[in-house]
Every structure is written in C-alpha cells, then in structure tokens.
C-alpha cells in the first residue's frame, strides 16, 4: 500500500472510530446485545460444540471476544463468506488458525457443497465426542459471532441440507436473515441432522462493549457489522475506494470495453434525465445498480479513473483528489444526477457499498496475517 493511501486509511479509520465513540456505546453495544451476551454465556457450558462464525474478509477483526469458553465445549472457527474474500488469503488464514491449535473450516453459506462439507465436519466432531464418552442422543451446536457474520444464513443452510426428513423441515421454523446487523434478537433452535439428532442454536450478533482499535472499528463498519447510520455511507465509500485504488482487484477489469467508446453522443444527457420528470409528471425508471451492465460501467469507470491518474500516490492529498474524480465518474456510471433529491453523493455511496458487500467489485481480505507468519 502506498504511503499516501496508508496515511489516508489511518485517518479515515480514526474518523470512523471517533464518530462511533461520539454516538455513545449504546449505539453499537445495544441493550439487546448485552442481554444476548449474558444468555450466550449461560448456555455455553450446556452445549456440546461452539461454532464461532467469523467473516472471512476480516478473520481477526471479526473475532468473537465474548466467548469465555467452558472446557466442556468443543470450539470450531468458521471463516464464512469465503465467496467475498481473497481465496489465497483465506487459505493462509485457515492455515494460521490451525497452527494455533484451532479447528477451522472455510464456508460459503450459499453453496451446497460447502455446507455439506461443514456438516460432515460437525458430524465427525460428534463422533469424536462419542468416542470420548461425551455423547448423548442429541447434540447441540451453538453458533456465535459478531453481527452480520452470516450465522442465520449458515443455520438455515445447515437445516435445509442436513440429513432430516422433509416432513420435519416443513414443521421447523427458519432463522431470519437480513443484510443489516442486529436483526437476530433471540436464540433460536434448528434441527440439522438425525441419527444422531443435532440441533443448532442461532444467536444474536454481539460486539465487544468497547472497540478500542481504530483499524478494527473501521473494518467492522465497512463490512456491515456496525450499522451504516453510525458512520455514514459516504465516508465508508471513501474508505473502500482508497483500499480498491491500492489493490490489484481493479486491474482485473482491464479488458472491459472503454467507457469512452461505449458512450455515444447524447447518452450522457439521456442518462442524466433518467430521474427527471417527464411532461406527464411521471418519473422515468432508473436501472437497478445491480444489473450487469451498470456494474460493468462502475468497474470500468473505476479502472479508467485509477489507471489514468498520474499523480504521486505517496502524497495523501492526491488520494483525496483521486477520490473526487472517482465520485464524479460514479455519478455517471450509476446514473445518479448530482444535486437532485436526496443527497446524490450519499446515494452513490450506498450503491457502491452494496456492490462491494455483495462481491460485485472484487474479493478482499482486509486483515493482514501477523508479520511473523
């Protein structure tokens, strides 16, 4: 990472941390988190296996610090959302955690083969408990982790793919899944296997009462573990664009057709009129920002803006200038008219964050392995 970007990332991270702190701890460590933390602590000694679900993009920053494990519980670390992270970095993090004597598994909650592999691991651990004399007919697995780490999606996928009858699946409820942190409010139970019976407990996401590290706080915010309203989408978008500009991800878009070649005379005017009112008073439809054509326009805009920027990125001020050029280009690519209606920069920020968080703008592992690895 260039020195200028490193300083800017540190400054943005500190700003994010300060904003969160000024909001007050109750904004991120909510009363329901405090209650959930107590409920989890009470149940941990009673369950057979504790599965700590981390975000593969931030394997260190998403550590669940409220565990206080009982010796009676087996501990498994799951690096979830592997489809959004850098594959080679995920492999290295898995190896690192296994070298720290952890049982670790990479999981994509939306991939059947991945879920089947994880379910096989769980059943292997259950057989190990049986060999050690710690076995009953019913085994309980508790999923714990920070908000938005994908616990509920993992629980549902295990329930759908698990070896239980169709009749049981129809009678058993599902866990609520949301892209927003803090949607799971209580501990719920889902059956995921029979012979022997295995139940999984889906728990609310819990953050530590105090987040003391600027870097950790900013990564939690960028990946959606902390509500966007705490920081603001525009600040998070700038943070992401700074990371993107010093990565190799944008270079993968070099073969996309040039925006200059694609835009025909009059196209810009037509795009800018997309949200303007027609003579009949009805608003024209703006294309969904997740459409492939729009996503490709965003990718190409970012590629051309970064690759054509010739000023020294060792200078922090130049990164700020680059960000301004990117924001201007993104208005056009996302067909957001500057200065109309809701603050247009914030609209661009929201859409950009959504594309990052759904993997449409590349795969990122934000946490670096310890230097001695």
Instruction: Kindly state the tokens that stand for 235.
Output: 């600040």
pLDDT tier for residue 370 given thresholds of 50, 70 and 90: confident
Q: What is the pLDDT of residue 118?
A: 95
The model's pLDDT over 75-110, given as tens digits with 9 standing for 90+, comes to: 999 999 999 999 999 999 999 999 998 999 999 999
Mean pLDDT for the stretch of residues 273-297: 67
Rounded CA separation 358/353 (Å): 9
Task: Give the relative orientation of helices 3-23 and 214-222 as an angle to the nearest 10 degrees.
Answer: 80
User: Residues of the chain with pLDDT > 70: what percent?
Assistant: 79
Please say whether the structural domain 30-202 has been given the CATH code 3.30.450.20: no
Grouping H, G, I as helix, E, B as strand and the rest as coil, residue 144 is strand
Domain spans in the chain, listed from the N-terminal domain onward: 1-28+211-256+291-372, 30-202
Rounded CA separation 54/366 (Å): 13
Grouping H, G, I as helix, E, B as strand and the rest as coil, residue 218 is helix
CA-to-CA separations, 319 to 44, 67, 84, in angstroms, rounded: 47, 40, 25
Residue with tokens 């769980």: 122
The model's pLDDT over 142-179, given as tens digits with 9 standing for 90+, comes to: 999 999 999 999 999 998 888 665 455 555 455 555 45
Instruction: Kindly state the tokens that stand for 65.
Output: 């610090």
Grouping H, G, I as helix, E, B as strand and the rest as coil, residue 79 is strand
The model's pLDDT over 290-322, given as tens digits with 9 standing for 90+, comes to: 999 999 999 999 999 999 999 988 888 888 899
- Closest of 19, 81, 35 to residue 217, by C-alpha: 19
């Amino acid at each position: 990472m260039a020195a200028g970007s490193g300083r800017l990332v540190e400054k943005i991270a500190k700003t994010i941390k300060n904003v969160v702190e000024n909001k007050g701890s109750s904004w991120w460590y909510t009363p329901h988190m405090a209650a959930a933390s107590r409920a989890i602590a009470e149940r941990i000694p009673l369950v057979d296996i504790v599965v700590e679900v981390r975000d593969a993009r931030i394997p260190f920053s998403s550590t669940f610090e409220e565990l206080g494990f009982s010796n009676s519980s087996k501990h498994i670390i799951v690096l979830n959302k592997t489809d959004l992270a850098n594959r080679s970095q995920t492999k290295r993090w898995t190896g690192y955690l296994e070298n720290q004597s952890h049982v670790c598994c990479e999981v994509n909650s939306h991939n059947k083969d991945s879920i089947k592999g994880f379910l096989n691991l769980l059943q292997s651990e259950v057989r190990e408990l049986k060999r050690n004399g710690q076995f009953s007919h019913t085994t309980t697995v508790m999923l714990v982790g920070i908000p938005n780490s994908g616990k509920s999606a993992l629980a549902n996928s295990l329930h759908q793919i698990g070896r239980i009858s169709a009749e049981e699946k129809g009678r058993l409820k599902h866990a609520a899944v949301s892209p927003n942190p803090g949607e799971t409010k209580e501990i719920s139970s889902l059956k995921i296997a029979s012979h022997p019976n295995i139940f999984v407990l889906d728990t609310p996401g819990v953050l530590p009462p105090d987040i003391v590290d600027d870097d950790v706080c900013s990564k939690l915010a960028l990946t959606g573990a902390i509500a966007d309203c705490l920081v603001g989408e525009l600040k998070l978008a700038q943070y992401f664009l700074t990371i993107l500009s010093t990565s190799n991800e944008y270079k993968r878009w070099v073969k996309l057709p040039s925006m200059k070649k694609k835009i025909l005379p009059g196209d810009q005017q037509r795009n800018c009129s997309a949200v303007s009112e027609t003579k009949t008073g009805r608003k024209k439809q703006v294309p969904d920002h997740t459409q492939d054509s729009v996503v490709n326009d965003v990718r190409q805009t970012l590629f051309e803006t970064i690759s054509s920027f010739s000023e020294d990125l060792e200078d922090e001020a130049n990164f700020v200038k680059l960000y301004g050029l990117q924001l201007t280009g993104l208005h056009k690519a996302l067909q957001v008219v500057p200065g109309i209606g809701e603050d247009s920069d914030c609209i661009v920020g929201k859409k950009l964050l959504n594309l990052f968080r759904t993997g449409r703008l590349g795969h990122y592992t934000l946490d670096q392995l310890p230097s001695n690895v």
